[in-house]
Every structure is written in structure tokens, then in C-alpha cells.
Amino acid sequence: MRKTWLITGASRGFGRIWAEAALKRGDQVTATARRLSDVADLKEKFGEAALPLELNVTDPEQVQRAVEQAYAHFGRLDVLVNNAGKSLIAATEEASDEQVRDLFDTNYFGMVRVLRTALPLLRKQGSGHILGISSGLGITTLPYIGYYCATKWAVEALHEALAHEVRPFGLKVTLVEPGAYATDFGKSSEWAAALGPYAEYRKQFLQGLANVERGDPEATAEAILKLVDAENPPLRLGLGTSILPRARAAYEERLATWEAWKEVSDAAMGKPKKITTELMEYLARETTVQN
């Protein structure tokens, strides 16, 4: 069945590749980017099946307009790909408040804005598949991109909760977790000014990062198409050969640590108590329902 997509961050990298893959197989795609000129050529190549729109996900009014325009134009939305993002290279001590806020405003709050605008439409429609683009760095972290990792861990938590919330409405949610790929994403990263004590470590880290084996981003298109066509898609889909080994090692270590400290953790429980009637009554009073 022909699907209708909305993809943020479609100017380059994964967003562009997936937009073109969907259009080539006959789907309809609203492709958004900060600069309309970066996605305008899709309409030239694919005609009325493509709707290029300018969208900066940090602008709430623009998000509202773009999502509603996309829905009105095609009459439905089957696949929402929340892909817009940026990176920041900085040790924890090096980044400014402004840099950290800007990063979260795009990678996390931008995604939230798109979701909050699209969800009422999807709920009314009674179907749809939301793809939150996370990262292998939403599973484990690396130094010097800890703030970027933090945004992706936030994305992971948000979508895990979202999946439970929207399941009764017939909506599906998948976190897409790419490993290292040969895109130009890193070239657009913002860099914090280096502090002397970290200079040598930063140099060594970046040299090591440059030698990491990277996947072919074009190869991800088939996986994404299989994902959106699946009757029962997974909550998480790793892309690339590094994701499963990385997750397995990380969780084995975490489980071993929790097990080693189990007695201390259990003792910290104290004497278990049940929720009081007074608290239940308070929660009932404070719960309001909005249509």
C-alpha cells in the first residue's frame, strides 16, 4: 500500500536517503529542511509525490504550520520520521550553557514539538508509525560527545514511554539506532573551545574516532522500508553490525554491577509501605482530563 511520510532533517544523510527511497518506490513524502532550497529538487525529480517544506524544529510556530500543511496536503500521515539533529564536540567542562541548550533544543525539544503537533492527527486517524531517530550513542556513550549522547538517551526514554501511551490508538513507535556511518553529519558538528587539560586526550580520542569502520548509509534504506512495512515493528531497530555487540556488552556490565551491589540496594528499601488513601485522593483531585 502506498504510504505517506513526513521526514524532518531531509536535506542530507539518512533523512535524504530515506526520503528518496520512499519516493522511488511510489510513496508520498513531505521532506523538510532548515533551508527549502536543500529539498526543493525532490519535487523536480518526483513531482507531486514530494512536498518540500522549510522547517526549523526549534521554531514552534513553524513546526505547527509544517506538520499541519503536510497532513492537509496528502490527507493522511502513515510514517513520521523525526530525524532532524545536530552534534556538539565538547568535554563536559568545555561546553557553554548556550551550546548545551541549543543542542537539546534541536535534538530533543525539536522532536517533542513535532510529536505534540502530529499526535492529535495520528490519534484521530487511528494509525501511523513514529520513527524516533536515536543512535548507538543512545545505548552507550563516548567521551567528548557526552552532551550529544545525553540528547539521544532522552530520545530513547521519551519514545519508550510514548509507545505505551499511543498503543491503544493504533499507533506504532520505533527507535532507530544507527551505528557509525559514512555520512557528513560529523562535518556539521559544533565544537566547543578546548581547555588545555583536555587537549591531548581530545586529540587522541578524535584520532581513534577517525579510524572507526563506518557503514554505507545507502544500505540503510532497505532496512527502513522493511521496518515501516512490518505488521508488528520492533520498539528498537539497530542499524549496522556494531549495535548488538555494543548493547550486549553494556548490559552485561550493568547487570553485573547491579548484582554485585544487590545487598546494599535491597537494604536501602527499608520497610516497604503502601500508598496511602490520602495520597490516592490527592492524585485523583489533581488529575484533569483534556480533550
* Spatial distance between the Cα atoms of 117 and 110, rounded to a whole number of angstroms: 11
Question: What dihedral do alpha carbons 82, 90, 147, 39 form, nearest 10°?
Answer: -10
Question: By the 8 A CB rule, do 186 and 148 touch?
Answer: no
Reply yes or no on whether 242 is catalytic. no
- Nearest alpha carbon to residue 2 among 52, 40, 48, 61: 48
Residue matched to cell numbers 530513547: 156
Burial 214-251 (b: 16+ CB within 10 A, else e): ebebeebbeebbebbeeeebeebbbbbebbeebbeeee
30 backbone dihedrals φ, ψ, rounded to 5°: -90, 115
Catalytic residue among 152, 172, 181, 198: 152
* Spatial distance between the Cα atoms of 125 and 78, rounded to a whole number of angstroms: 9
Catalytic residue among 11, 87, 134, 135: 134
**DSSP annotation string for 107-136:** IIIHHHHHHHHHHHHHHHHT-EEEEEE--G
Reply yes or no on whether 134 is catalytic. yes
* Spatial distance between the Cα atoms of 254 and 105, rounded to a whole number of angstroms: 30
Reply yes or no on whether 148 is catalytic. yes
C-alpha cell at 182: 559514512
Question: By the 8 A CB rule, do 155 and 111 touch?
Answer: yes
Catalytic residue among 71, 108, 148, 181: 148
Residues involved in catalysis: 134, 148, 152
